[in-house]
Structure 1
Amino acid sequence: MGAADIVPGVSGGTMAFITGIYDRLLGAIRAFDLALLGLVLKGRIKDAWQHVDGAFLLTLLAGIATSILSLARLIAWLLETHPVPLWAFFFGLILASALVLLRQVGAWNPARIACLLAGTGFALAVALSPALGLESAGLPAVFGAGFIAICAMILPGISGSFILVLLGMYAVVLNALKSFDLEFIAVFAAGAACGLLCFSRLLHWLLRHQRPGTLALLTGFLFGSLAVVWPWKEALDWVEGAGGEMRPVQQVPILPGRFLQLTGEDPQLWLCIALALAGGLAVWLIDTRWNRA
């Protein structure tokens, strides 16, 4: 999850879904409730720790932190110097994940097909949308950006950082963190906390009571997000990043030949195919060796 969150456009929720810990993660987040507060106030710290599945959350957070600290420079370097092969690997990873998850939906009916198509359409709409430009909309927009971004972050196939880019808030958030703008950070964190607690409860309820349809919807998100991780893209719109650099915000998938014409760069077709297959193989290994244990 940490490695995925480093890459703009790839969701840590996708990795949680692939590795089979998604339900447990939602359950642990959902456990931050009034019952937890009551246990803490009574001094029953051990019971509170078990209530939120503390060992699981601590291990997960340690893994995310370790991944970010150890892989951040490598992935940042790959994004800068070899973006096309890196995107190809993630494309294979997510495509194989979506195909694996299709099996978990069970028997298909019109309602579940509609959920799959709705998820795919929504993720495609997000992936191909232009920036909204909310950077000067004030603190209510900051709260809303935190709320929406964290919801996207726990959804498979939709990246929270990518949502911030679409809202025009990515550079604003990074600058606020760099300058330690306490008011901005507090409002954004409050929005994120509210979004996490509310949305995790909704997803947890849906997976418990409407699991096949919800799985179909989430699988649709994965299929739609393939437009974001397609290796060869043409940028239609740009925004200024935190360091003054221009970042593509609206991109459309193109064929390797068109990519060569536009950029003059080698599309590295065979390397991309090999890395996409490697990503698919990684998902197959995870699914066969761990998820069915």
Structure 2
Amino acid sequence: MADPSLHSSESETARNHHPAAVFLRGIAMGAADIVPGVSGGTIAFITGIYFRLLEAINAVPGAVYRHLVRGRFRAFWLDCDGSFLVCLLAGILASIASLASAISYVLVAYPILIWSFFFGLIVASVWHVGRQVRHYKPALLVPLLSGIAIAWWITTLSASQVSPSALAFFGAGALAICAMILPGISGSFILVIIGMYAPVLAAIKSLDVGILLLFMAGCVVGLLSIARLITWAFHHFHDLVLALLTGFMIGALNKVWPWKETLSWRVNSSGDKVPLNEASISPWTFAEQSGQDPQVLFAVLMAVVGFGLVLLVEWIGFRRGDASLAR
């Protein structure tokens, strides 16, 4: 049985989410997971389904043993919140399949504006997650600063190249999903670091079923492991975990900073030359080095839009919660 305290950070009406609303959240999570530096876990957290997702994932192994192997399909479905998981997964897969090419294009065509939008989104997410802490105390500075340091360090790692063998795709899936489920840690960026982002994205675009099944098998193994660990951590160290996750998101801002200096390049699956390793620089240094307009005004506007989007999602969540209580 799930601990009710896990749901303190979410609306009490989480179980009443309409399937279409869950599907849309899945689309948002899938779109975020495609982009290196943005976490689908962050989207799940700010849209109020994070703990429900953890609870549903944790219920699957037990539901398989108690119900599925004995032919009790309805009991299995209800026990693991099957409708929720299917709607969410459908949204994630639909988003990844349909938006992979589009997001790849806009990141190349409008990098400053798109990264600015994500920057504002994550800043607002920092504020949102930080507010879920129950008791603020000086001791929380330790996990907060640790999270900032770890995430910042990860964003500065040099990308490498892994031979895309079957084992590499399976391992990449397990590693990436562990990062994706954590707010503030980007699974896509982990793939970039280990050199598997381009091979996985190419497999998605070409619908290479064999490779994708290996990747998804790794995701399942990693997800069942990390979800139970996160749930246990929230049970026992709620505020410490939230402080750590807040630190992760603050540190991750280095990756989504809009103005970058390219340190090295790589050739992608289409034969195009794209940045491999980058470092954050000021807009004015960017203008001097590249000779391009840093688009500061529009960048700020896009960051405000990203920030406002999170506030809008939170406001809608509160409105629905109030409406439910009124009924």
TM-score scaled by length of structure 2? 0.81
Rounded Cα–Cα distance in structure 1 between residues aligned with 2:100 and 2:212: 23
Alignment partner of 2:287 out of 238, 260, 269: 260
Percent identical pairs in the alignment equals 47
Rounded Cα–Cα distance in structure 2 between residues aligned with 1:179 and 1:69: 9
AA matched with 2:121? L
Alignment partner of 2:180 out of 116, 138, 153: 153
Q: Secondary structure at the match of 2:60?
A: coil
Moved more, 152-161 or 237-246: 237-246
User: Contact 1:233–1:254 at 8 Å: present in 2 too?
Assistant: yes
Q: Alpha-carbon deviations, 1:75-123, whole Å to 9, x = none?
A: 3442222111111111111101101221211333343211111111111
Moved more, 50-59 or 240-249: 240-249
Deviation of 1:150 after TM superposition, in Å, equals 1.3
AA matched with 2:111? P
Rounded Cα–Cα distance in structure 2 between residues aligned with 1:110 and 1:221: 18
Rounded Cα–Cα distance in structure 2 between residues aligned with 1:141 and 1:60: 26
Task: Say what the alpha-carbon RMSD is for the aligned residues.
Answer: 2.4
User: Contact 2:118–2:256 at 8 Å: present in 1 too?
Assistant: yes
Instruction: Name the residue aligned to 1:104.
Output: 132
Q: Secondary structure at the match of 1:243?
A: coil
- Summarize the Cα distance change of 1:180–1:88 in structure 2 as closer, same or farther, 3 Å threshold: closer
Instruction: Name the residue aligned to 2:301.
Output: 274
Q: Does 1:50 align with 2:78?
A: yes
Q: Does 1:290 align with 2:288?
A: no
Alignment of 1:1-293 (within 5 A): 1-68=29-96, 71-72=99-100, 74-135=102-163, 140-174=167-201, 178=206, 180=208, 182=210, 187-291=214-318, 293=321
User: Contact 2:159–2:276 at 8 Å: present in 1 too?
Assistant: yes
Moved more, 215-224 or 77-86: 77-86
Q: Alpha-carbon deviations, 1:114-162, whole Å to 9, x = none?
A: 11111111111111110233327x6554443222111111111222222
The answer to which structure, 1 or 2, has the higher relative contact order (CA under 8 A, 6+ apart) is 1
Q: Secondary structure at the match of 1:104?
A: coil
Deviation of 1:281 after TM superposition, in Å, equals 1.2
Q: Alpha-carbon deviations, 1:12-57, whole Å to 9, x = none?
A: 1111111121111111111220432331122211111111111211
- Summarize the Cα distance change of 1:238–1:104 in structure 2 as closer, same or farther, 3 Å threshold: same
Instruction: Name the residue aligned to 2:10.
Output: none
User: Contact 1:151–1:195 at 8 Å: present in 2 too?
Assistant: yes
AA matched with 1:82? Y
AA matched with 1:46? R
Q: Alpha-carbon deviations, 1:217-239, whole Å to 9, x = none?
A: 11111111111111111122333
- Summarize the Cα distance change of 1:57–1:174 in structure 2 as closer, same or farther, 3 Å threshold: same
User: Contact 2:119–2:256 at 8 Å: present in 1 too?
Assistant: yes
Report the count of equivalent residues: 291
TM-score scaled by length of structure 1? 0.89
AA matched with 2:225? C
